[in-house]
Structure 1
Amino acid sequence: MKSLSCVKQGRVVVIQDIEGCPQRKRHLEEMGFIPGTPLEVCRCCQQGPLVVSIRGGKVMLGQEMAQHIMVRP
């Protein structure tokens, strides 16, 4: 299991867990980041935000937020 911030562009992964405080977890779940949900990393860069395709839409996430989303292949 690794954080979403470590996933390379073009990879499809499944959300395993959301780490952090309850408010952060609730916020991410409201955005569609629910354990068991697959997503694809559309764009990633070392310093900038990630763009992921999830549940038929695209979402931009900062690196800090992505570090709290644990995923598996």
Structure 2
Amino acid sequence: MIVKPLSCAKKGTTVHIQSIKNCCNCKLHLEEMGFIPGTPIRICYCCKKGSLVVTVRGGKVMLGEEMAKQIMVV
């Protein structure tokens, strides 16, 4: 398994959260939104500026590039 940041995932793929880096309280914020290790995430849309729209736990969420870099996936 290759662990990489969510920001490197491609549109249309489904990945699973491996871990979340602990930085600037974003870890707690992401966990509250449903980004828990082991949870599958589907990449719906990748914006040119690095933002992503993902489906997690039945809801769609838009993440900025910096936050997506904190989520490590396989």
The two structures have a TM-score, normalised by structure 2, of 0.91
Runs (4+) of structure 1 exceeding 4 A deviation are none
Q: CA deviation at 1:24?
A: 1.2
CA offsets 1:5-61 (integer angstroms, 9 cap, x no match): 000000000000000326111011001100000010000134142000110110000
- Quick one: distance in 1 between partners of 2:56 and 2:15? 10
| 1:17 to 1:3, Cα distance in 2 relative to 1, 3 A | same
- Quick one: distance in 2 between partners of 1:15 and 1:6? 13
SS at match of 1:9: coil
Aligned residues: 72
- Quick one: distance in 2 between partners of 1:22 and 1:34? 17
- Checking the alignment, whether the CA contact within 8 Å between 2:53 and 2:63 is kept in structure 1 is yes
Percent sequence identity is 62
- Quick one: distance in 2 between partners of 1:42 and 1:3? 16
Instruction: Point out where structure 2 has 5 or more consecutive residues left out of the alignment.
Output: none
Matched, 1:68 2:65: no
What is the match of residue 42 of structure 1?
44
SS at match of 1:14: strand
